[in-house]
Amino acid sequence: MADQTTNQIESLDEEGFRTSLGIEEARDERAGCAEWLWYLGRKWLAEEKGDGPLHQAIRQSGYDAAHGRYAGVKTTREFAKAFTAEPSRSVLKLKTLELTDDTFEVEFNECPLVTAWRELGATPEEVVKLCDIAMEEDRGAIEEIGTLNYELKETIAEGSHHCIVRITAKQQEAQA
């Protein structure tokens, strides 16, 4: 949970130990990920189309997250709870727009990845491609969970003031 007086985020690390991380430190960690993806990906950005090696590598990270961070998650409510946990909630300035048994829609009001790519000199087209690659982690997690659908409705990378992601239960799709 974020402490507004100290701008510290308390969370549990991978081994279950309580950690305290400043919001800016957490943003810097995400920006560091953006930097290595930028340097790694620049070579392939112009050539890679669709489901290339970068997409596949980041999607694998999502498959792993389905068995780690999202272990046991099957419903939209369970996914929402895990997805909006700290430090993500504070770092990405997440706002839940809708949460029901069938739907979870969340708004991201900040993206350290997009900010870092722009600061590194990526063109608007490169930022959109890098964003698509980075979102493979969420797509991979949803695919591996198996009971949910993923829809990316808006992105900061494409010029919106926020990103909006919509997660729906697969049974809702069958009823429509």
pLDDT per residue over 93-122, tens digit each? 999 999 999 999 999 999 999 999 999 999
Characterize the bridge pairing of strands 148-154 and 163-169.
antiparallel
| Domains and their CATH numbers in the chain | 27-175 (3.30.1380.20)
Other residues' Cβ atoms within 10 Å of the Cβ of residue 10: 14
Higher pLDDT, 9 or 34: 34
Is the pTM higher than 0.85?
no
Separation of alpha carbons 163 and 132, rounded Å: 12
Q: Is the pLDDT of residue 27 over 70?
A: no
pLDDT per residue over 157-175, tens digit each? 999 999 999 999 997 445 4
Q: How confident is the model at residue 55 (pLDDT cuts 50, 70, 90)?
A: confident
Which pLDDT score, from 0 to 100, does residue 100 have? 97
Residue 113 sits at φ, ψ, to 5 deg, of -65, -50
Which pLDDT score, from 0 to 100, does residue 30 have? 67
Burial class (CB in 10 A: 0-12, 13-18, 19+), 123: exposed
Separation of alpha carbons 171 and 176, rounded Å: 9
Concatenate the DSSP letters of all residues of 58-71 into one string.
HHHHHHHHHHTTTT
